[in-house]
Amino acid sequence: MYFKRLAALLLAVCMIAGSLAGCNTASGNSTPASSQDAGAPATDESSAPAEASGETSLTGKRVRVVIGSTSTGGDSYMVADMVTRYLGAEMGFNGKVDPVGNAAALDAISKAKGDGTTIMMFHDMTFLSVLFGAVDQQYALENLTVGPRIGQNPGGCYAAHKDAPYSTLAEAAEWLKENPSKIVRVNIESGGVSHLTFVAYWLWAKDTYGDDVAGRIKAIVGGSTDEKKQRLWDGNTDIIYGDYSAFVEFTKEGVDNQLAMKIMDPADVIEGVDIPTMAQNGVTFNGEPFVFSKDFAMYFPKDMDQNVLNEIAAAMQKVAANPDFQAEMAKLKYKAVSPEETELSASQQFIFNKREMSKSLIEAAPSLDDLT
């Protein structure tokens, strides 16, 4: 008896929630894809991705987008969310982003059906985690299908305390040369992009300044971005690595002196940000100026249906050309890829090349046991 009442209550709430959720979408499903907001004063966003242009094999279906991070506040989630919204509007599907984590995402996409209802969107960690040995060899790119590229985050950079005696990584090496008793500690995460950029810097410093200076550049491994900031404030490290957006607030005027930071050496050019990059500061690898952005792409199971893949790639090209999409990406300081770059074979070539470059960097690098 009481159970039936409880169930009726649940159903009623379900209906209310459903209708309320429904009134801010144009197509009656539960992803927001339209510009009509029920009773909510909209902000100045131009949030109008175009309506689905024709039937595709994914129209009306639910697509699960897995990402390799477990956080909903990071760049992986933001990029995936944006792309899913626009792609969903373009192809007519109902997409859901699930932040499941690195190994779980690789596992989910390896075992998924090849019909396009599961997509993995993630950055270079997809293959870096295999190269570094953090996940099993079975998840190497050879056992997946690489899909179109979807965006770039050039915002990985280094930061130090505002009062530090150097303003770029190169200056840090100079300072070490002039102060033979000092060391510089750099907080990075092992197995990721920070590890790669740090290794590139270290190898360049060794070539340019010699073994002694390089020997006094120490790596401190581990911690989330918040924990790294805490380390910097506690004086347990001198330089930390993270995303530009995580640090920019601390560089502004008016921040308490203990917390104030300065940003150094982004690994690639960030739109609208005037700080010289690693390459512009002279860091090179294999003779070439060293540039590294986090490149996001879609990944699919090995036996992916070629037709669906082509449809998705074509839709992605349309999304990339969409000025609203480009504007949204730029707002968060991400770089949208051009329709040419997102073309399927160009993307696949790019990702494989990047993997080769990363592989040679990892092979040249000393082990972290020696660097710490």
Partner 1 sequence: MPFAFGIDYLAVAFLGVVIGIIFGAIPGMTATMAVAVFLPLTYAYSMEMALYLLLGLYVGGISGGLVPAILINIPGTPSSVCTTFDGHPMALKGESERALKIGITSSFIGGMISLGVLAVFTPVLAGWAIKFSAVEKFLIILFAMTVIAALSRRQMLRGIWIGMVGVLISLMNQFPVNNTFRMVPKFLQSEMQSGFQLFPLLIGLFAISQMFEECETGMRAKYTKEDAYEVSRVDGFKFTRDFKGQWVNVIRSALIGTFVGILPGVGGSAASILAYSQAKSWSKHPELLGTGVPEGLIASETSNNGLTGGALVPLLSLGIPGDSTTAVLIGAFMLQGIQVGPLFISSHPTIWNTVLMAMLVCNVIMFLVMFFPIKLISKIIFIPQERLYPVVLMMCTLGAYATLNGRMFDVWGLLLFGIVGYLLKKFNFPVSCFLIGFILGRDLENYFIQAISAKSGSLAVFFTRPMSWIIWALIAVSILYAILDNRKSKRAAN
Partner 2 sequence: MAELLRINVVHSTQHKIFPTITIWILVILGIIILLVEGRAKAKAGKPLFTKPKSIFVENYDKLKFWGCIALMVAYFSLLDVIGFTVTSILFVYLFNTLFGGLDRLKNKKYHLNSIIISLVSVISISLLFGTVFDITLPDGICTIWIKSLGITIF
Residue among 191, 213, 192 at smallest CA distance from 202: 213
Q: How far is the CB of 235 from partner 2 (least distance, A)?
A: 18
Class of residue 73 by CB neighbours under 10 A (exposed 0-12, middle 13-18, buried 19+): exposed
CB atoms within 10 A of CB 360: 12
Provide the token pair at 54. Answer: 């024709």
Instruction: Please identify, among the stretches 28-36, 143-151, 166-174, 307-315, the one whose residues bind partner 2 according to the rule CB under 8 A.
Output: 28-36
Q: How far is the CB of 31 from partner 2 (least distance, A)?
A: 8
Provide the token pair at 92. Answer: 């007519």
Question: What part of residues 217-276 is at the interface with partner 2 (CB under 8 A)?
Answer: 221
Instruction: Please identify, among the stretches 17-25, 122-130, 225-233, 284-292, the one whose residues bind partner 2 according to the rule CB under 8 A.
Output: 17-25
Q: How far is the CB of 285 from partner 1 (least distance, A)?
A: 23
11's contact among partner 1, partner 2, none, with CB below 5 to 8 A by partner kind, is partner 2
Instruction: Give whichever of 197 and 326 is closer to partner 2, judged by the CB atom.
Output: 197
272's contact among partner 2, partner 1, none, with CB below 5 to 8 A by partner kind, is none
Task: Decide: is 29 part of the binding site for partner 2 (CB under 8 A).
Answer: yes
27's contact among partner 1, partner 2, none, with CB below 5 to 8 A by partner kind, is partner 2
Instruction: Please identify, among the stretches 15-23, 139-147, 173-181, 282-290, the one whose residues bind partner 2 according to the rule CB under 8 A.
Output: 15-23
For residue 203, give the 3-state DSSP assignment: helix
Task: Decide: is 2 part of the binding site for partner 2 (CB under 8 A).
Answer: no
Put residue 101 in one of left, alpha, beta given phi > 0 → left and psi -120 to 50 → alpha.
left
Residue among 153, 230, 154, 155 at smallest CA distance from 187: 230
Question: CB within 8 A of 161, min separation 6: which ones?
Answer: 232, 238, 260, 261, 262
Quote the DSSP letter at residue 256. Answer: -
Instruction: Give whichever of 96 and 331 is closer to partner 2, judged by the CB atom.
Output: 96
Question: What part of residues 308-367 is at the interface with partner 2 (CB under 8 A)?
Answer: 367
Question: CB within 8 A of 57, min separation 6: which ones?
Answer: 115, 116, 307, 308, 311
Instruction: Give whichever of 64 and 206 is closer to partner 2, judged by the CB atom.
Output: 64
